[in-house]
Amino acid sequence: MGNLSGMLVTMPHKQRMLAFVDELDSTAREVGALNVIRCEPDGRWVGAISDGIGCVLGMQWEGNHPANKSVLLVGAGGAGRAIAFAVAYAGASKLTISDVDEHRARDLAASVAAETGRAVHSGPSDPDGFEVVINATPLGMKASDAMPVDPERLAPGTIVVDIINAAEPTPLLRAAQARGCRTQDGGPMHQGQALYALRFLGFDYRPEGRAGVDVGAT
Protein backbone atom coordinates (compact mmCIF):
# COMPACT_ATOMS: atom_id res chain seq x y z
CA MET A 1 0.00 0.00 0.00
CA GLY A 2 1.84 3.04 -1.26
CA ASN A 3 0.09 5.49 1.03
CA LEU A 4 0.67 3.55 4.28
CA SER A 5 3.64 4.99 6.17
CA GLY A 6 3.32 2.81 9.24
CA MET A 7 1.09 1.65 12.05
CA LEU A 8 0.80 1.39 15.81
CA VAL A 9 0.30 -2.02 17.41
CA THR A 10 -1.14 -2.76 20.83
CA MET A 11 -1.54 -5.83 23.04
CA PRO A 12 -1.92 -8.71 22.50
CA HIS A 13 -0.10 -8.32 19.17
CA LYS A 14 3.22 -6.78 20.28
CA GLN A 15 5.13 -10.05 20.12
CA ARG A 16 3.37 -11.88 17.31
CA MET A 17 4.01 -8.92 14.97
CA LEU A 18 7.75 -9.60 15.18
CA ALA A 19 7.27 -12.25 12.50
CA PHE A 20 5.86 -9.73 10.03
CA VAL A 21 8.67 -7.14 9.93
CA ASP A 22 11.97 -7.19 8.08
CA GLU A 23 14.07 -5.36 10.66
CA LEU A 24 13.97 -4.40 14.35
CA ASP A 25 15.55 -1.33 15.88
CA SER A 26 17.57 -1.80 19.07
CA THR A 27 14.60 -1.21 21.38
CA ALA A 28 12.43 -3.93 19.86
CA ARG A 29 15.35 -6.32 19.39
CA GLU A 30 16.28 -6.23 23.08
CA VAL A 31 12.73 -6.31 24.39
CA GLY A 32 11.39 -8.92 21.97
CA ALA A 33 8.25 -6.94 21.16
CA LEU A 34 7.17 -3.96 19.07
CA ASN A 35 4.37 -1.44 19.04
CA VAL A 36 5.19 0.79 16.08
CA ILE A 37 6.11 -0.21 12.50
CA ARG A 38 7.54 2.03 9.78
CA CYS A 39 7.45 1.30 6.06
CA GLU A 40 10.71 2.27 4.35
CA PRO A 41 10.79 3.61 0.76
CA ASP A 42 12.10 0.26 -0.47
CA GLY A 43 9.12 -1.56 1.07
CA ARG A 44 10.89 -2.98 4.12
CA TRP A 45 9.06 -2.87 7.46
CA VAL A 46 11.03 -1.75 10.54
CA GLY A 47 9.67 -2.26 14.06
CA ALA A 48 10.35 -0.45 17.34
CA ILE A 49 8.80 -0.21 20.80
CA SER A 50 8.08 3.06 22.58
CA ASP A 51 7.07 1.80 26.04
CA GLY A 52 10.45 2.06 27.74
CA ILE A 53 11.65 5.29 26.17
CA GLY A 54 8.19 6.78 26.71
CA CYS A 55 8.28 5.92 30.40
CA VAL A 56 11.71 7.46 30.95
CA LEU A 57 10.81 10.57 28.94
CA GLY A 58 7.70 11.02 31.07
CA MET A 59 9.73 10.67 34.24
CA GLN A 60 12.26 13.23 33.00
CA TRP A 61 9.53 15.69 32.12
CA GLU A 62 8.03 15.32 35.61
CA GLY A 63 11.38 15.80 37.35
CA ASN A 64 11.57 12.11 38.33
CA HIS A 65 14.65 11.10 36.34
CA PRO A 66 15.77 7.58 37.35
CA ALA A 67 19.48 8.35 36.88
CA ASN A 68 21.59 7.54 39.96
CA LYS A 69 18.56 6.22 41.85
CA SER A 70 17.65 2.79 43.17
CA VAL A 71 14.60 1.55 41.25
CA LEU A 72 12.10 -1.22 41.95
CA LEU A 73 10.22 -2.27 38.82
CA VAL A 74 7.17 -4.46 39.42
CA GLY A 75 6.09 -6.32 36.30
CA ALA A 76 8.25 -8.12 33.73
CA GLY A 77 5.67 -8.39 30.94
CA GLY A 78 5.77 -6.52 27.63
CA ALA A 79 5.78 -2.98 29.01
CA GLY A 80 7.91 -4.01 31.99
CA ARG A 81 10.59 -5.49 29.72
CA ALA A 82 10.84 -2.27 27.73
CA ILE A 83 10.91 -0.11 30.86
CA ALA A 84 13.62 -2.28 32.44
CA PHE A 85 16.02 -1.69 29.55
CA ALA A 86 15.20 2.02 29.32
CA VAL A 87 15.61 2.65 33.06
CA ALA A 88 18.94 0.83 33.08
CA TYR A 89 20.19 2.78 30.05
CA ALA A 90 18.98 5.99 31.75
CA GLY A 91 21.52 5.39 34.52
CA ALA A 92 19.68 3.86 37.47
CA SER A 93 22.23 3.03 40.16
CA LYS A 94 20.40 -0.20 41.00
CA LEU A 95 17.43 -1.90 39.36
CA THR A 96 15.44 -4.70 40.97
CA ILE A 97 12.79 -6.45 38.87
CA SER A 98 9.89 -8.24 40.53
CA ASP A 99 7.19 -10.37 38.92
CA VAL A 100 4.72 -13.03 40.00
CA ASP A 101 6.66 -15.29 37.62
CA GLU A 102 10.04 -15.37 39.37
CA HIS A 103 11.72 -17.10 36.41
CA ARG A 104 10.58 -14.35 34.06
CA ALA A 105 11.89 -11.66 36.41
CA ARG A 106 15.22 -13.46 36.79
CA ASP A 107 15.64 -13.95 33.04
CA LEU A 108 14.82 -10.32 32.33
CA ALA A 109 17.23 -9.08 35.00
CA ALA A 110 20.02 -11.18 33.50
CA SER A 111 19.29 -9.88 29.98
CA VAL A 112 19.21 -6.24 31.05
CA ALA A 113 22.41 -6.58 33.07
CA ALA A 114 24.21 -8.25 30.16
CA GLU A 115 23.09 -5.64 27.61
CA THR A 116 23.53 -2.48 29.72
CA GLY A 117 26.30 -3.33 32.16
CA ARG A 118 24.17 -2.02 35.04
CA ALA A 119 23.49 -3.58 38.43
CA VAL A 120 20.21 -5.41 37.75
CA HIS A 121 18.71 -8.15 39.89
CA SER A 122 15.39 -9.89 40.45
CA GLY A 123 13.74 -9.85 43.85
CA PRO A 124 10.56 -9.43 45.88
CA SER A 125 8.15 -6.53 45.41
CA ASP A 126 9.09 -4.94 48.74
CA PRO A 127 9.49 -1.19 48.09
CA ASP A 128 11.40 -0.52 51.32
CA GLY A 129 14.74 1.16 50.63
CA PHE A 130 14.08 2.14 47.00
CA GLU A 131 14.07 5.74 45.77
CA VAL A 132 11.80 4.96 42.78
CA VAL A 133 9.02 2.37 42.51
CA ILE A 134 7.42 1.69 39.10
CA ASN A 135 4.25 -0.36 38.66
CA ALA A 136 4.31 -1.92 35.20
CA THR A 137 1.60 -4.49 35.95
CA PRO A 138 -2.14 -4.22 35.13
CA LEU A 139 -2.92 -4.15 38.86
CA GLY A 140 -4.96 -1.04 39.51
CA MET A 141 -7.01 -1.07 36.33
CA LYS A 142 -9.90 -2.52 38.36
CA ALA A 143 -10.97 -1.39 41.81
CA SER A 144 -10.88 -4.98 43.05
CA ASP A 145 -7.22 -5.50 42.11
CA ALA A 146 -4.63 -6.24 44.74
CA MET A 147 -1.86 -3.71 45.32
CA PRO A 148 1.33 -4.33 43.31
CA VAL A 149 3.36 -3.37 46.40
CA ASP A 150 2.55 -2.91 50.09
CA PRO A 151 2.04 0.87 50.42
CA GLU A 152 2.83 0.67 54.14
CA ARG A 153 6.40 -0.16 53.12
CA LEU A 154 6.79 3.05 51.08
CA ALA A 155 8.97 5.68 52.69
CA PRO A 156 7.88 9.34 52.49
CA GLY A 157 9.55 11.01 49.53
CA THR A 158 9.73 7.86 47.41
CA ILE A 159 8.89 8.46 43.74
CA VAL A 160 6.00 6.15 42.82
CA VAL A 161 5.20 5.78 39.11
CA ASP A 162 2.12 3.89 37.98
CA ILE A 163 2.03 3.44 34.20
CA ILE A 164 -1.74 2.85 34.16
CA ASN A 165 -3.27 5.76 32.25
CA ALA A 166 -6.57 6.52 34.02
CA ALA A 167 -8.68 9.59 34.67
CA GLU A 168 -8.43 9.10 38.45
CA PRO A 169 -5.39 8.14 40.55
CA THR A 170 -5.03 4.40 40.99
CA PRO A 171 -5.34 2.90 44.49
CA LEU A 172 -1.54 2.63 44.59
CA LEU A 173 -1.05 6.31 43.83
CA ARG A 174 -3.68 7.36 46.36
CA ALA A 175 -2.03 5.24 49.04
CA ALA A 176 1.42 6.57 48.09
CA GLN A 177 0.21 10.17 48.30
CA ALA A 178 -1.14 9.46 51.77
CA ARG A 179 2.32 8.22 52.74
CA GLY A 180 3.92 11.47 51.56
CA CYS A 181 5.36 10.05 48.34
CA ARG A 182 5.89 11.86 45.06
CA THR A 183 3.55 10.26 42.51
CA GLN A 184 3.25 10.09 38.73
CA ASP A 185 0.42 8.52 36.73
CA GLY A 186 0.51 7.04 33.23
CA GLY A 187 -0.17 10.30 31.39
CA PRO A 188 3.47 11.46 31.00
CA MET A 189 4.52 8.02 29.75
CA HIS A 190 1.67 8.12 27.23
CA GLN A 191 2.97 11.47 25.96
CA GLY A 192 6.52 10.13 25.80
CA GLN A 193 5.35 7.12 23.81
CA ALA A 194 3.57 9.40 21.36
CA LEU A 195 6.69 11.53 20.89
CA TYR A 196 8.95 8.56 20.20
CA ALA A 197 6.47 6.68 18.01
CA LEU A 198 5.67 9.69 15.85
CA ARG A 199 9.32 10.64 15.48
CA PHE A 200 10.02 7.04 14.45
CA LEU A 201 7.33 7.44 11.78
CA GLY A 202 8.91 10.68 10.57
CA PHE A 203 6.63 13.28 12.17
CA ASP A 204 8.05 16.33 13.93
CA TYR A 205 5.99 16.12 17.11
CA ARG A 206 6.30 17.30 20.68
CA PRO A 207 3.51 17.25 23.29
CA GLU A 208 2.36 20.74 24.21
CA GLY A 209 4.29 22.24 27.11
CA ARG A 210 7.01 19.59 27.06
CA ALA A 211 10.44 21.09 26.47
CA GLY A 212 14.05 20.42 27.32
CA VAL A 213 14.06 16.66 26.65
CA ASP A 214 14.23 15.11 23.21
CA VAL A 215 14.66 11.78 21.52
CA GLY A 216 15.53 11.00 17.95
CA ALA A 217 13.92 8.39 15.75
CA THR A 218 16.03 5.29 15.26
Q: In what order do the strands lie in the sheet with 23-24?
A: 6-8, 36-39, 45-48, 23-24
Residue 69 forms part of a structural domain: yes
Write out pLDDT tens, residues 62-73. 999 999 999 999
pLDDT for the residue numbered 143: 77
Q: At 191, which amino acid appears?
A: Q
Q: Does the pTM of the predicted model rise above 0.75?
A: yes
Residue 38 forms part of a structural domain: yes
Q: How many residues does the chain have?
A: 218
Examine the domain organization and report whether 58 and 101 are in the same domain.
yes
Is residue 216 predicted with pLDDT exceeding 80? no
Half-sphere exposure of 99 (CA within 13 A, CB side): 22
Whether 142 is a known active-site residue: answer: no
Examine the domain organization and report whether 134 and 196 are in the same domain.
no
Instruction: Categorize the per-residue pLDDT at 85 as very low, low, confident or very high, splitting at 50, 70 and 90.
Output: very high
> Structural domain tally of the chain?
2
Write out pLDDT tens, residues 133-191. 999 998 888 878 899 999 999 999 999 999 998 888 999 999 999 999 999 999 999 99
Task: Provide, rounded to the nearest whole percent, the portion of the chain with pLDDT above 90.
Answer: 75
Average pLDDT value for residue range 100-118: 96
Examine the domain organization and report whether 87 and 180 are in the same domain.
yes
Examine the domain organization and report whether 45 and 149 are in the same domain.
no
Examine the domain organization and report whether 101 and 42 are in the same domain.
no
Q: Find the domain containing 30 and state its range.
A: 6-50+189-200
Residue 67 forms part of a structural domain: yes
Please count the other Cβ atoms lying within 10 Å of the Cβ belonging to residue 19. 6
Which residues, at least 6 apart from 78, have a Cβ–Cβ distance to it below 8 Å?
A: 11, 14, 15, 31, 33, 51
Residue 217 forms part of a structural domain: no
Please tell me which residue in 14, 69, 94, 142 is annotated as part of the active site: 14
Separation between Cα atoms, residue 110 and residue 68, nearest integer Å: 20
Examine the domain organization and report whether 126 and 35 are in the same domain.
no
Instruction: Categorize the per-residue pLDDT at 210 as very low, low, confident or very high, splitting at 50, 70 and 90.
Output: confident
Task: Provide, rounded to the nearest whole percent, the portion of the chain with pLDDT above 70.
Answer: 96
Instruction: Categorize the per-residue pLDDT at 89 as very low, low, confident or very high, splitting at 50, 70 and 90.
Output: very high
Q: Strands (DSSP E) along the chain, which ranges?
A: 6-8, 23-24, 36-39, 45-48, 70-74, 94-98, 120-122, 132-135, 159-162, 182-184
Examine the domain organization and report whether 103 and 24 are in the same domain.
no
Examine the domain organization and report whether 93 and 195 are in the same domain.
no
Largest Cα–Cα distance of the chain, in whole Å?
A: 55
